[in-house]
Structure 1
Amino acid sequence: MQHVGWRGELQKLIDRHAGVRMNGNVASFRTRELTAKTLFAVFNTLHLLGYRLQNPANLGARHVDALVKHWYAEGRAVSTMQNELSMLRKFGTWIGKKGFVGRLADYLPDVPAMQLRRTAVASISKSWTENGVNVDAKLAQADALDERFGMMLRIELAFGLRRREILLLKPWKSDHGDTLTIYPNTGSKTGRPRIIALKNDYQRTMLDYVKARMPKGQAMAWRTTRRGMPAGLKYCQKEYSRRMKEIGITAAQSNVTGHGLRAEFAENAAMTDPVRPFIPATLGGTADQLSLEDLHLARSQVSEMLGHSRTAITNSYYGSFARWRSAPGSQTSEARA
């Protein structure tokens, strides 16, 4: 389909520039695809915020300022915001405005510098419970707002799914009794499937609760918009974020985001493992609570449940024991009830 208006102008800029890296080398197809996806998302967001730029080359400092404040309010990760600012810096060179995009801290002067530091290692818990959010109360609030949204939160809490994975999940199809299957290309970052073992009664209860309210062939995503029109995946992703904001779950409102339920799952999975339970570093756990071999094995199993093949990825959910190692003989904290 041919793009018209600002979309057509943006596509022309992408076609002209995105195939070449900053150093002059040819960019990969994946890089060009990611550039286009990010830039179209940026300008779509600006239009939703009321900045209806008909010519993308008119992008200015005030637009970037509005974007960053919007990203922060909806709880976007620091690394994601920095990546998108980097993309906009590159875009600035395309339109003859090199240097007009500042640092993340320039747009968020009231946010402590430590909170804007890019790191893949969590130093404090990102879970709702550890940040003072009553999960049961929020589930009830979500139910009252929209029953399907309440079901989504239960699945995220019970199985640690990402937003896209929740929306595309077909509970009846994925339930295999003692496991939940995430099928290929149903929302995972890698596109690969994974099998999550049901290790506690809560998972079974939540899955049965959702299935009792879902037609057998349906995915979790909303079927229609608030206006009664057919709902696509993009709409559902935005609706999920809107609903989170309505129940007070954003970084600005409660210091947590929807992704915090995934962190909650990771912490709970670590502490309730029937074979090798351990306390995450963000909750006070230390490296000496298990043998090095058992700790690595336990962390790798949690990582696989989250859909990651590398154990180090779990550092972003519950910290690194290398940074939290205590003196020999120290006691670990009690697991939360």
Structure 2
Amino acid sequence: MDVLAYDLKGIALGDGDGSYLTRMQRHRGLQLMARDLRALGFKLPAASSLKPRHVEALLDHWRAARLSAGTMKNRMGWLRWWAAKVRKPNVVPRDNDSAGIAKRAAFAGNRAHVVQGEKLAALPLCHQLALRLQMAFGMRLEESLKFRVGQADKGDRLVMQPSWCKGGRARDIPITHPRQRALLDELRRVCGDGSLIPQGERYIDFRKDVEHETWGVGIRNMHGHRHWYAQWRYQTLTGRPCPAAGGATHERLSRTEKAADFRARMQISNELGHGRLNVTDTYLGSRFAKAQTRTR
């Protein structure tokens, strides 16, 4: 490990920003950048030696490698974090547009799905419950594993704790359907006041076990459960399917329907832990027909 990589390791793993998984992903991303810079002929003596020419060299390298817009945006996020930690935020472009990174396609096909039948039954009970929480409440995998029903269940809503949620963003999720209540009751019988993580086992180890088991039975995209939840909520809130499920796009809606569409999207965004309107295009399909023809 060279000097830069060692310095970045100390910064990334010694800082408490984000969850354990977030810190590890950031650490791996920064180590990759250190290797890229070394391969490009730069020998930075410390993380604080970062300069605009190093950032531009990385961007050129990533463009030449034809990385996707999503991958480049993730790396730019880590690079901005690095620059901020060494008090050099201005060496990195403030936004992705000025860095020449294309916008990520808002919608690339309907990714919503639920897992049922043999695939779900093949999993251990705690793994099944984690997936069912994702489908019933739109939780991320980390949230479903750390979730404690006795702490969260307030009768008409779930109060998600910051320590369970991405970025520490607490939120409420409404309980609106009898199947949701039945799932919470079953979870309480299985886990009591605890989470799905077995006592004495680390979260990251249990997560790896869940990912391994689900992959083994052919479940490839657990994030699709959040898409399914978002689309179910849209149908419930508006009385019609979203564009991703074949519903009308924005220009085909009446004025009243457009207002309902806006309210539903903001509600769903908050329930998913985002709080931004534009992110709902990913889950519900773009509000505008022309955006659906873009490709990644």
Is the structural similarity TM-score above 0.5? yes
Letter matched to residue 284 of structure 2: Y
Letter matched to residue 37 of structure 1: M
Indicate if the aligned counterparts of 2:123 and 2:214 stay in contact, CA closer than 8 A: no
Please report how far the alpha carbon of residue 192 of structure 1 lies from its aligned counterpart in structure 2 after TM superposition: 2.2
Aligned counterpart, 2:78:
none
Aligned counterpart, 1:148:
126
The question of 1:179 aligning with 2:143 is answered no
| Percent of aligned pairs with the same amino acid | 24
Cα pair distance change 1:144/1:192, threshold 3 Å = same
- Unaligned regions of 5+ residues in structure 2, if any? 43-60, 69-101
Aligned counterpart, 1:314:
280
Which structure features the higher share of helix residues?
2
Indicate if the aligned counterparts of 2:107 and 2:291 stay in contact, CA closer than 8 A: no
Q: Map residues 14-29 of structure 1 onto 2, 5 A cutoff.
A: 14-16=5-7
Please report how far the alpha carbon of residue 153 of structure 1 lies from its aligned counterpart in structure 2 after TM superposition: 1.0
The question of 1:38 aligning with 2:25 is answered yes
Aligned partner of residue 166 in structure 2, secondary structure: coil
- Unaligned regions of 5+ residues in structure 1, if any? 1-8, 21-27, 43-83, 106-116, 130-134, 224-229, 251-256, 327-337
Aligned counterpart, 1:121:
106
Aligned counterpart, 1:240:
210
Please report how far the alpha carbon of residue 222 of structure 1 lies from its aligned counterpart in structure 2 after TM superposition: 3.4
Cα pair distance change 1:29/1:243, threshold 3 Å = closer
The 2-side partners of 1:310 and 1:267 are apart by 16
Cα pair distance change 1:181/1:36, threshold 3 Å = closer
Aligned counterpart, 1:299:
265
Letter matched to residue 300 of structure 1: M
Indicate if the aligned counterparts of 1:169 and 1:219 stay in contact, CA closer than 8 A: yes
Letter matched to residue 260 of structure 1: G
The 2-side partners of 1:161 and 1:35 are apart by 17
Greater RCO, 1 or 2 (C-alpha within 8 Å, sep 6+): 2
The 2-side partners of 1:128 and 1:34 are apart by 25
Indicate if the aligned counterparts of 1:171 and 1:220 stay in contact, CA closer than 8 A: no
Cα pair distance change 1:19/1:149, threshold 3 Å = closer
Letter matched to residue 102 of structure 1: A
Q: Map residues 100-111 of structure 1 onto 2, 5 A cutoff.
A: 102-104=65-67
Please report how far the alpha carbon of residue 299 of structure 1 lies from its aligned counterpart in structure 2 after TM superposition: 0.9
Indicate if the aligned counterparts of 1:123 and 1:282 stay in contact, CA closer than 8 A: no
Aligned counterpart, 1:281:
243
The question of 1:262 aligning with 2:238 is answered no
Please report how far the alpha carbon of residue 293 of structure 1 lies from its aligned counterpart in structure 2 after TM superposition: 1.8
What is the TM-score with the length of structure 1 in the denominator?
0.59
Aligned counterpart, 1:23:
none
**1:69-127 CA-partner distances (Å, limit 9, x unpaired):** xxxxxxxxxxxxxxx5x97355321355685983348xxxxxxxxxxx97251231111
State the number of aligned residues.
232
Please report how far the alpha carbon of residue 147 of structure 1 lies from its aligned counterpart in structure 2 after TM superposition: 0.8
The question of 1:200 aligning with 2:177 is answered yes
Within the candidate set 128, 136, 143, 2:116 is matched to 136
What is the TM-score with the length of structure 2 in the denominator?
0.67
**1:260-316 CA-partner distances (Å, limit 9, x unpaired):** 11111111111122xx33321111111234532221011111111111111111111
Cα pair distance change 1:234/1:321, threshold 3 Å = same
The question of 1:215 aligning with 2:186 is answered no
The 1-side partners of 2:236 and 2:4 are apart by 52
Indicate if the aligned counterparts of 2:5 and 2:34 stay in contact, CA closer than 8 A: no
Letter matched to residue 195 of structure 2: A
